[in-house]
């Protein structure tokens, strides 16, 4: 049986890692790169990982303006801050009838893609991975690699585990990646925000790794407060997280390799922060429900200030 083909749009840590695992498992993979295109063509892609390194040569690389052949699944793996600029390439790569997997952080990230690309099946995916891109064509994977996948439905209803979702999850499992099907994508997005909102933001504002935040009583209490605000908004939104979500996440974080979350990596590289998807969208969703998330709003304001100064190069 021929394995399903994938097109990966965005060859950062997320796109690079999962694309490499799928290619390693025998899936045809096309790579849509931008600044790294020439490097990927010349030198391939390497992944260092505690689960085993991967080195891929002779990649099918497509630079800006180059349209790949149709794939069964097209994965949008850019930062959310790059979605708007990537939509044209995504539309060309994902023919009507194909599956688009929005493998990004945040809330309300599938809606703009579904609106811009009618006739595609749009899935949302979340990566739970400690990894970074060391440079063009080299991904350093540190810990974890699970991916949750659910189908987008207009209005945020739970779509159930559709065949499209199950197909992508099966491909991930076949590539050794713990894939998990979500019957309620929005619940999965809120659940990931329970971690992202405290740890992404505080790692930037306090210039601290996850281990430092876990070790300080005041910081940990603030993490719990932020997590509680997110979990309460998720429940009010009709997509509650499991009752023990905070304790489970803190236990997992305590066992993590000390790690700079993606937003800290973006900040240190002076890339724009994913504030609209990770902070503004949840705050707006809460506001629509008449709910305040005051500690989250304060953190968002601090991050907005730091992001603006950081990008101005001050």
Active-site residue set: 192
Distance separating alpha carbons of residues 251 and 246, to the nearest angstrom:
9
CB 226, min distance to a copy of itself, A: 8
Here's the x/- map for a copy of itself, 90-119, by CB under 8 A: it reads as ------------------------------
What part of residues 146-205 is at the interface with a copy of itself (CB under 8 A)? 202, 205
What lies within 8 Å, CB to CB, of 60 at 6+ separation is 28, 29, 30, 31, 68
How many angstroms separate the CA atoms of 295 and 224, rounded? 11
Pick from 40, 142, 168, 208 the residue near a copy of itself by CB under 8 A: 208
Q: What region does 214 belong to: left with phi over 0, alpha with psi -120 to 50, or beta? A: alpha
Gyration radius of the chain over CA positions: 19
Q: What is the largest CA-CA distance in the chain?
A: 55
Residue 291 CB, nearest approach to a copy of itself (Å): 13
| Least CB distance to a copy of itself at residue 30 (A) | 40
Least Cβ distance, residue 295 to a copy of itself (angstroms): 4
Tell me how far, at minimum, the Cβ of 209 lies from a copy of itself, in Å: 12
CB 153 within 8 A of CB 172: no
Closest listed residue to residue 299, CA positions, set 281, 275, 277: 275
Q: What is the DSSP letter of 278?
A: I
CA dist 223 to 84, 215, 247, Å? 31, 11, 11
Q: Which of 91, 143, 183, 212 binds a copy of itself (CB under 8 A)?
A: 212
Region 217-256 residues binding a copy of itself, contact defined as CB under 8 A = 218-219, 221-222, 225-226
- Both tokens assigned to 217: 């009583």
Instruction: For residue 93, count other CB atoms closer than 10 A to its CB.
Output: 25
Task: Specify whether the CB–CB gap between 9 and 19 falls below 8 A.
Answer: no
Q: What is the DSSP letter of 149?
A: E
Per CB under 8 A, the list member of 85, 287, 289, 308 interacting with a copy of itself is 308
Which residue's CB is nearer to a copy of itself, number 226 or number 230? 226
264 versus 300: smaller Cβ distance to a copy of itself? 300
42, 64, 305, 311: which one binds a copy of itself (CB under 8 A): 305
Token reading at 269:
């590289």
Residue 269 interacts with a copy of itself (CB under 8 A): yes or no: no
Least distance in Å: CB of 200 to a copy of itself? 15
Closer to a copy of itself by CB, 102 or 299: give it. Answer: 299
Question: For a copy of itself, which is the closer residue by CB, 71 or 233?
Answer: 233
Bridge partners of residue 126, in order along the sequence: 148
Q: Closer CB to a copy of itself, residue 60 or residue 216?
A: 216
Chain positions 282 to 301 lying near a copy of itself, rule: CB under 8 A, are 294-295, 297-301
β 6-9/29-32 pair status: parallel
- Contact residues for a copy of itself, defined by CB under 8 A: 202, 205-206, 208, 212-213, 216, 218-219, 221-222, 225-226, 294-295, 297-302, 304-306, 308-309
């Amino acid at each position: 049986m021929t394995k399903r083909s994938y097109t990966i749009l965005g060859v950062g840590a997320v796109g690079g890692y999962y694309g490499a695992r799928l290619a390693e498992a025998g899936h045809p993979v096309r790579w849509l790169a931008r600044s790294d295109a020439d490097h990927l063509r010349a030198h391939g892609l390497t992944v260092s990982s505690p689960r085993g390194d991967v080195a891929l040569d002779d990649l099918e690389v497509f630079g800006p303006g180059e349209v790949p052949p149709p794939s069964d699944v097209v994965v949008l793996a850019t930062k959310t801050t790059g979605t708007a600029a990537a939509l044209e390439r995504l539309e060309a790569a994902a023919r009507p009838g194909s599956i688009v997997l929005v493998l990004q952080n945040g809330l309300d990230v599938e809606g703009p893609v579904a609106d811009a690309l009618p006739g595609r099946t749009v899935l949302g995916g979340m990566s739970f991975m400690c990894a970074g891109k060391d440079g063009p064509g080299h991904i350093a994977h540190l810990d974890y690699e699970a991916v949750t996948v659910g189908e987008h439905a207009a209005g945020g209803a739970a779509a159930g585990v559709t065949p499209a979702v199950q197909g992508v999850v099966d491909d991930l499992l076949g590539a050794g990646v713990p894939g998990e099907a979500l019957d309620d994508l929005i619940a999965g997005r809120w659940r990931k925000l329970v971690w992202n909102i405290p740890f992404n933001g505080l790692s930037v504002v306090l210039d601290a790794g996850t281990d430092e935040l876990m070790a300080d009583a005041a910081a940990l209490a603030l993490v719990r407060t932020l997590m509680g605000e997110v979990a309460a908004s998720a429940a009010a939104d009709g997509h509650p997280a499991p009752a023990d979500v905070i304790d489970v996440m803190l236990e997992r974080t305590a066992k993590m390799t000390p790690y700079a979350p993606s937003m800290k990596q973006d900040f240190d590289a002076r890339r724009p922060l994913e504030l609209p998807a990770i902070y503004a969208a949840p705050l707006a969703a809460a506001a629509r429900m008449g709910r305040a998330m005051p500690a989250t709003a304060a953190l968002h304001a601090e991050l907005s200030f730091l992001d603006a100064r950081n990008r101005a190069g001050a």
